[in-house]
């Protein structure tokens, strides 16, 4: 199930139902292991199209009889726009909308405080993250990938990619609107116990193939870590179409 020469795990799904089943089971397995080991599951998730995939995968897991124990979950955001939490641009708002008031959802949500100035907002979020993660690491970070290869709010050529010190950073010059954001950085993402990408559609195929071949030109390619959870990519046939050994 994938390209043997790649350092990543590839999960190539056949359709949306297959994606929801695989992703839901994956999140369930990581979450339950985390709860068993340290009593909670600390997750960071992203925006874009990911809230819908995230919510659909969890709903599929619940409908199949799995007990997610979401009362033990703490949910942060891999990146967030510095906007009101009820704004159409807010990843927090998008996540809540996708979940749709699910009766099984008991997780503690950790949005940013957009009433603070951007730098102070990032500092406060960094403190909140470090207060909740275990040994400085998220249990799981769920990421998407943009057509330019960006992930979270880490964009090609941006100085944040080379900063070894910041764990949570403000960004005021995002090439995608809105320009002001708060983002996890590579040191914190790469310290996570597990990382998963969801990258769907033909528009991601070239970037996926480049990353599989070992390129480090794209921000998403810099998400590499050696923890047991590793980096798993959930793809569909179009996004996997240029992986030479993928089946």
| 49 and 93 Cβ atoms separated by less than 8 Å | no
pLDDT of res. 247 = 45
Using left for φ > 0, alpha for ψ between -120 and 50, and beta otherwise, residue 11 falls in: beta
Which structural domains are found in the chain, ordered by start? Answer: 9-235 (3.40.50.1360)
CB-CB contact of 24 with 61 (8 Å): yes
pLDDT tens digits, residue range 23-75? 999 999 999 999 999 999 999 999 999 999 999 999 999 999 999 999 999 99
The 10 Å Cβ neighbour count of residue 130 is 12
User: At CA 209, angle to CA 212 and CA 195, rounded to 5?
Assistant: 50
User: What pLDDT sits at residue 100?
Assistant: 96
* The predicted structure's pLDDT at residue 246: 54
pLDDT tens column, 171-221: 999 999 999 999 999 999 999 999 999 999 999 999 999 999 988 899 999
What is the rounded average pLDDT of the residues 129-153?
96
pLDDT in tens, 66-103: 999 999 999 999 999 999 999 999 999 999 999 999 99
User: 5 pLDDT band (50/70/90 cuts)?
Assistant: very low
Is the pLDDT at 4 greater than 90? The verdict is no
What's residue 111's pLDDT? 98
Which of these, 175, 184, 181, lies nearest to 156 by C-alpha position? 175
Average pLDDT on 2-26 reads: 84
Q: Residue 2: which pLDDT band, with cuts at 50, 70 and 90? A: very low
Q: Is the pLDDT of residue 229 over 90?
A: no
233 band by pLDDT with thresholds 50, 70 and 90: very high
The pLDDT value recorded for residue 39 is 97
Cβ–Cβ < 8 Å for 218, 183: no
């Amino acid at each position: 199930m994938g390209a043997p020469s790649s350092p990543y795990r590839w999960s190539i799904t056949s359709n949306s139902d297959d994606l929801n089943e695989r992703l839901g089971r994956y999140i369930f397995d990581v979450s339950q292991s985390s709860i068993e080991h340290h009593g909670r599951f600390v997750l960071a998730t992203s925006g874009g199209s990911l809230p819908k995939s995230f919510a659909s995968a969890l709903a599929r897991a619940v409908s199949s009889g799995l007990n997610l124990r979401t009362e033990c979950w703490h949910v942060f955001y891999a990146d967030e726009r510095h906007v009101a939490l009820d704004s159409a641009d807010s990843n927090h708002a998008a996540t809540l909308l996708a979940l749709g008031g699910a009766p099984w959802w008991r997780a503690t949500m950790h949005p940013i405080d957009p009433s603070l100035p951007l730098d102070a907002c990032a500092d406060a979020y960094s403190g909140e993250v470090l207060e909740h993660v275990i040994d400085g690491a998220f249990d799981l970070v769920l990421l998407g990938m943009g057509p330019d290869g960006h992930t979270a709010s880490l964009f090609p050529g941006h100085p944040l990619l080379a900063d070894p010190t910041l764990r949570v950073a403000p960004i005021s010059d995002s090439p995608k609107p809105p320009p002001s954001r708060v983002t996890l950085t590579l040191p914190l993402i790469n310290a996570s116990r597990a990382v998963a990408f969801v990258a769907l559609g033909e528009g991601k195929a070239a970037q996926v193939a480049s990353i599989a071949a070992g390129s480090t030109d794209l921000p998403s390619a810099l998400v590499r870590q050696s923890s047991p959870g590793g980096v798993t990519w959930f793809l569909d046939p179009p996004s996997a179409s240029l992986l030479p050994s993928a089946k």
